[in-house]
Structure 1
Amino acid sequence: MNRTPWRRRREPLDHVESAALLPAPGDPVLSRDRLTTLEEHLMNEIRQAQDRKSTGAQPQTVALFPPSSPEPPRRTGSRRLALIGAAAAVAVLAGTIGVAQLTGQKAVEAAGPPEGSVPASVVQVAQGTTEGLSSTVDRISVAAVKEKLPEPRPGQFIYIKSQVSWLTMSENVDTGKSETYVQKLHGRQVWLSPDGRRGWLIEPGNGTTSRDGLTLDDEGEALEPSIGSPSYDYLKTLTTDPDELLKKIYEETEGQGNGPDQQAFTTIGDLVMEQVMPAELTSALYRAAAKIPGVVVVDDTTDAVGRHGIAIARTDETGGARTEWIFDPKTFSYLGERTVQMRDMEGVEAGTVTGHTAITERAVVDAMKELPGAKGKV
């Protein structure tokens, strides 16, 4: 079963039966679409775990993520098998299958350090301020308008290349001691059609795909696009008035995430991270974000590849994680996103960087799996 990063679909009948393998869910911290993406990936890992059990393979822990995000991404239909924000872990313990979902804090049980992971870094966190927020967002919004890409035509594809890393945790079920890890930084490439019906994802570094990748094509009847599961064609129909746009986001995300303000911020972050949209809309989204209570400016932070920047950020009051949208301090162009824990929370130390992304290329290409400036395909 495949999903586009941005579109909800009806689930197949066997999904209901497979869901019995999962424990009863708690109150989700992630958006509905991110949880759906993670659940789908978890079910895939459970099936693989059963295969390993039948062949006598050794237990292992597998890390997943949403994105922003997007969605996980995201951050909603967000993004994508992506991005975004929290991760999940699947553990195979002593011949039994244990599923542990992270909501940005702690896994219930795990089987040692996840393969391909490294200890999470703990950084000195700069405090944010509302001073200068308006002028900073003005500069970012003006820069967004100047960064216009060609509008994708039918048959073309939006291409996003990034470097990403997400949180996973390991807990010794005998001692209760947990350790925090992040995935090794790895590449991610996504192709999306303007109508959202077709797509391709390559991300072998996360265990999400093979080196060839996997299809994100729509299978069956597509649902109506929305703020949470948009396409380029849908996004270009939206208003560019920041107040009206923010009102629409609040209305469409009502009841999701950790409160309306946090979910609105997450939704906007998911949109701007792994998507191409009309430049005027991107500008309006930044101006809308500045109107959300709790949004601050952070003077210095770094993206996943070490580029320093200024950030627009907000801390989730429930989980204590601060999401930072990072911009070049001179050009104010978008660089990436960082999530850092602002207070100790169920085994995650304050200052722990739990998510890191860096967008390294955005383009419009003529064919699926085509690279910008290249005649061939990956």
Structure 2
Amino acid sequence: MDELQLIAERTGSVPLAESGALGSARARLMAEIARTGTENVVPLKKRRRWAWTGAGAVGLAAAITAVVTLAPIEKVGLEPTAAVADPVVVLRNAAAAALKAPGTPPKPDQFVYTKTKQPDGEREAWLSADGTRDGRIKMADGSLFPLPGCRDGRGQVYKGDQPLKGVTEPCTPSPAYRTDLPADAEAMFAYLNAHHSGETGDYNAMGKDILALANENLLPPAVRAALFGAAAKVPGLRAVDHTEDAAGRPGVGITWPLGPHDDPKVAKPVVIVFAADTFLYLGTNSTAVTASGVVDEAGQRP
């Protein structure tokens, strides 16, 4: 068997550990290389370039597998395709990446800007950071939809994109900067269970709620990390290797199980995509977040 194929087979499905002893793994690798070099000596005239004997190839593959298994990805420098066999590891890496991201909070009168790539084109959203200012959404066809802010318990009523003069309705502010969510994975999972849009046990619905929070809301780093940490607790997760988001960016993917009433012959699970090198959230196979930031006015871009 070709040794590179053997190594690929041994490492392709091995998840990365959250912590590991890289030093001892390296020592075992070097020892195996040394042993291979002494136990499998072949006369020079019979050697073939880049060839090991069977036992040596198997031993070396095992040693390399040990390094892949024990060493965290940031220490080994491997492409994260080795980690996608375990969706929990991918989501925990995504949580760690979110925790390290900059987290400067917006001012109350600012707006959270998000541009997403969707099947019908690009969508732009300007959401009020504290929920009291009037935001807007620009659809792929260029049409604008107002998002009334909620001030003193009242919000402007619109007909189409035109405000009805003097007509308001009761409301509750919906801030785009979410400081009201748990910053702990266990507490976040409990929150999602208590507030998700589907019936009990519908983890597909919970997945959609997680995406809604991840896409067009601005979350403090600890809250965003808790969101992905909570996602890792969903049963029935599956990792998808070599996938792309809606913008064509490659990454590693995670899917939720379908809902209890979904027909598997018709319904297709959403693939949540993370960057293959940084584990930062990119979007899904149907909606990709291509730009985001904080601006001073609705209509501005970062």
Q: Tell me, yes or no, whether TM beats 0.5.
A: yes
- If each structure's helix is expressed as a fraction of its own residues, which one has the higher value? 2
**Residue in 2 that maps onto 1:366:** 296
Whether the 8 Å CA contact 1:337–1:357 is kept in 2: the answer is: yes
Tell me the secondary structure at the aligned position of residue 269 of structure 2: strand
Tell me the secondary structure at the aligned position of residue 247 of structure 1: helix
How many residues of Structure 1 are paired with residues of Structure 2 in the alignment? 196
State the 1:130 CA deviation: 8.3
Counterpart-to-counterpart distance in 2, 1:267 and 1:316? 14
State the 1:289 CA deviation: 0.6
Counterpart-to-counterpart distance in 2, 1:314 and 1:246? 15
Q: Deviations over 1:136-166 (max 9, x none)?
A: 222111111222243111111100011111x
Counterpart-to-counterpart distance in 2, 1:269 and 1:308? 18
Call closer, same or farther: CA 1:258–1:357 in 2, change over 3 Å: farther
Structure 1: 5+ residue runs without aligned partners?
1-128, 166-182, 339-355, 373-378
1:323 aligns to 2:279 (yes or no): no
Q: Deviations over 1:237-287 (max 9, x none)?
A: 222111111112111237x25843222222112111222111111111101
Q: Deviations over 1:343-375 (max 9, x none)?
A: xxxxxxxxxxxxx11111110111111111xxx
**Residue in 2 that maps onto 1:245:** 188
Alpha-carbon RMSD: 2.2
**Residue in 1 that maps onto 2:128:** 193
* Pairing 1:44-193 to 2, within 5 Å after superposition: 131-165=85-119, 183=120, 186-193=121-128
Whether the 8 Å CA contact 1:325–1:336 is kept in 2: the answer is: yes
Which residue, out of 202, 208, 216, partners 1:266?
208
Instruction: Give the AA of the match of 2:137.
Output: L
Name the TM-score, length of structure 2 as normaliser.
Answer: 0.60
Instruction: Give the AA of the match of 2:289.
Output: I
* Pairing 1:230-241 to 2, within 5 Å after superposition: 231-233=175-177, 235-241=178-184
Name the TM-score, length of structure 1 as normaliser.
Answer: 0.48
Query: Which runs of at least 4 in structure 1 moved beyond 6 Å after TM superposition?
Result: none
Call closer, same or farther: CA 1:297–1:286 in 2, change over 3 Å: same
1:203 aligns to 2:139 (yes or no): yes
Instruction: Give the AA of the match of 1:134.
Output: V
Whether the 8 Å CA contact 2:109–2:130 is kept in 1: the answer is: no
Q: Deviations over 1:90-117 (max 9, x none)?
A: xxxxxxxxxxxxxxxxxxxxxxxxxxxx
Counterpart-to-counterpart distance in 2, 1:131 and 1:371? 38
Give 1 or 2 for the bigger CA radius of gyration: 2
Which residue, out of 201, 210, 221, partners 2:170?
221
Call closer, same or farther: CA 1:258–1:203 in 2, change over 3 Å: farther
| Range with greater deviation from structure 2 (314-323 or 148-157) | 314-323
Counterpart-to-counterpart distance in 2, 1:196 and 1:259? 31
Whether the 8 Å CA contact 1:312–1:326 is kept in 2: the answer is: yes
Call closer, same or farther: CA 1:308–1:204 in 2, change over 3 Å: closer
Structure 2: 5+ residue runs without aligned partners?
1-82, 150-154, 156-168
Counterpart-to-counterpart distance in 1, 2:290 and 2:244? 14
Instruction: Give the AA of the match of 2:171.
Output: A
State the 1:231 CA deviation: 2.4
1:337 aligns to 2:284 (yes or no): yes
**Residue in 2 that maps onto 1:281:** 223
**Residue in 1 that maps onto 2:34:** none
